Amino acid sequence: MRILAIESSCDDTSAAVLADGAILSNIVASQDALHADYGGIVPELAARRHLETISTVIHRALEQADCEVGSIDRIAVTHGPGLVGSLLVGIAAAQGLSLRTGLPVDGINHLEGHVLSPLVHEDVAFPFLALLVSGGHTSLYLVRGVGEYEEVAWTRDDSAGEAFDKAAKMLGLGYPGGKVIDDLAREGNVASVRFPRGRVKADDLAWSFSGLKTSLWQFLSAATEGSAGALGGHRLEDVSASFQEAIVDALVARVLLAAERYGVSRVAVAGGVSANSRLRTRMTEAVGKLGGSAVFPPMNLCTDNAGMIGYAAWLRACRGLDSTDIAAASRLPLGQKRRLR
Ligand code: KG4
Ligand code: ZN
C-alpha cells in the first residue's frame, strides 16, 4: 500500500511517501526563519507560506520516492489539532489531488502521528505509555493499541516546548530555543541554580510550567539589579542546564508515577522536545530502573513531519479503522481524559 501523506498543522510544510509502512521520502520545509523575528508563530504568515510551498514539497516527496501519483493508493492528511488556516492548506491540497485522481483521503490526528512515531523503527509491545512533548502539547497517553488511547496526564498551562522557547527568548537565544538550550546545557552544571519543580501529587499527574517560567524571569530581574552581571555571576551554560533539568525532572517524575499506577513500564517519547539529549538520558535511566525501556523516534521524526502522519494512516488502514473525517479542527483530543483515582 502506497500512501502520500501531507502535514501542515503548524509551521512546517511536509509531504512523505510510504510503501507498506516504510518511509520512502519525508520532505519538510521549515518556517523557523520566517517566524524567528516575532519570537513565535504568526498564524497568518504560516498559512500563506504553506500555500506557497505545498505543491513543491509534494512534488519533491514523490520525486525522492521515485514515485508517480498514479502509483499512490491513498492520501493521508493532518486534519487537527493545529492552526486552522495552516490545516486548511494541507486539506485543500489533499482534496484537490483526490478530485483529480479519485484516491481516498484519510484524516489523521496530528497527536496520533506523534504518539505512534516511535514505532516506525522500533517494536514496542502494547500497552505502552507515550509521552508527547512538543511546542504545542505536553501529555501522557496510555496506548493499548492503534486507535486505543487514554490521556492520563496533561499540562495545566504551557507546554514543555513553550517553556524551552520562552526561556530561550528571555536569555536572548532566539526562536525556537529548545535545541540551543540543549546544546548549551551539555557544558553546564545542572545544580547551579535551583528552579522550582512543583509538587508531584500521587493523585494528580498534571504538569505546570508557568511557575518555572516566572522563576527564570525573577532570577534574571534580580540578577540585572545586582552587581554580578546579567546572570548573577552564573554562566549561560549553567543557567541553561539548571532550567532544562527542572523541565526534565518534572517530565520524568510523572512518567514514573504513571508507570507505577498503570503497571506499564514501556515508554515511548515523541514530539519536538523528545529530541532533547538530557531527557533521553534521564528517561532511559529512570525507566530502566523500573525494569522497563524507553524508546525515542529518530531526530527527523521528532519534530513535525508527514512521515509520521503517513505511518499512522498505514497502521489505521491495516486495521480497518475509520479515518474519513477530514474537517479542519483547531482542537482534536486523542482519546478520553482519565484522572488517577
Ligand atoms: O513537535 P514540534 O516540531 O512542533 C509542535 O508540534 O509543537 O516541536 C517543536 C518544539 C519547540 O518548542 C522546540 O523548542 C522544541 O520542540 N525542541 C526541543 C529540542 N528540539 C526541538 N526542545 C528541547 N530540546 C531539543 N533538543
Ligand atoms: Zn507536532
Atom 8 (ligand 1) nearest CA:
272
Using alpha carbons, list the distances in angstroms from residue 237 to 227, 240, 254, 309. Answer: 20, 5, 26, 36
Distance 149 CA to ligand 2 centre (A): 17
273: CA distance to ligand 1 center in Å?
4
Per-residue model confidence (pLDDT) at position 341: 58
User: Bridge-partner residues for 132, per DSSP?
Assistant: 139, 270
Say how many Å lie between the CA of residue 277 and the centre of ligand 1. 12
pLDDT of residue 340: 66
Ligand 2: distance of its center to the CA of 136 in Å? 7
Alpha helices (H) in 186-276, listed in sequence order: 210-225, 236-262
Atom number of ligand 1 nearest to Cα 277: 26
Contact 160, 63 (CB under 8 A): no
The rounded Å distance from CA 99 to ligand 1 centre is: 35
How far is 289 from 324, CA to CA, in rounded Å? 42
Q: Give the global pTM.
A: 0.94
Q: Which residue has the cell 512515531?
A: 117
Residue 315 C-alpha to ligand 2 middle, in angstroms? 19
Among protein residues, the one with the nearest Cα to ligand 1's atom 21 is 272
Q: Which ligand is nearest to the CA of 181?
A: 1
Tell me what pLDDT residue 199 has.
80
Cα 322 to the center of its chain, rounded Å: 24
Strands 128-133 and 138-145: antiparallel
Q: 58 CA to middle of ligand 1, Å?
A: 24
Pocket probe for ligand 1: among 158, 179, 269, the residue whose CB has the most ligand atoms within 8 Å is: 179
With a CB cutoff of 8 Å and minimum separation 6, the contacts of 115 are 130, 132, 141, 143, 149, 268, 270, 334
pLDDT confidence of residue 40 = 81
Q: Which atom of ligand 1 is nearest to the CA of 9?
A: 6
- Choose one of 30, 303, 304, 332 to mutate for the ligand 1 pocket test, by most ligand atoms within 8 angstroms of C-beta: 303
| Ligand whose nearest atom lies closest to the CA of 7 | 2
The series of mean pLDDT values per 10 residues for the chain, 341 residues long, is 97 97 97 85 92 97 97 98 97 98 98 96 96 95 98 95 95 92 98 89 87 95 84 94 98 96 96 96 98 94 96 98 98 90 58
CA of 193 to the centre of ligand 2 (A): 30
What is the atom index within ligand 1 of the atom nearest the CA of 137?
Answer: 7
| Residues with C-beta less than 6 Å from any ligand 1 atom | 10, 134-136, 161, 164-165, 176-179, 182, 271-273, 275-276, 303-304
Which ligand ends up closest to the CA of 110? 2
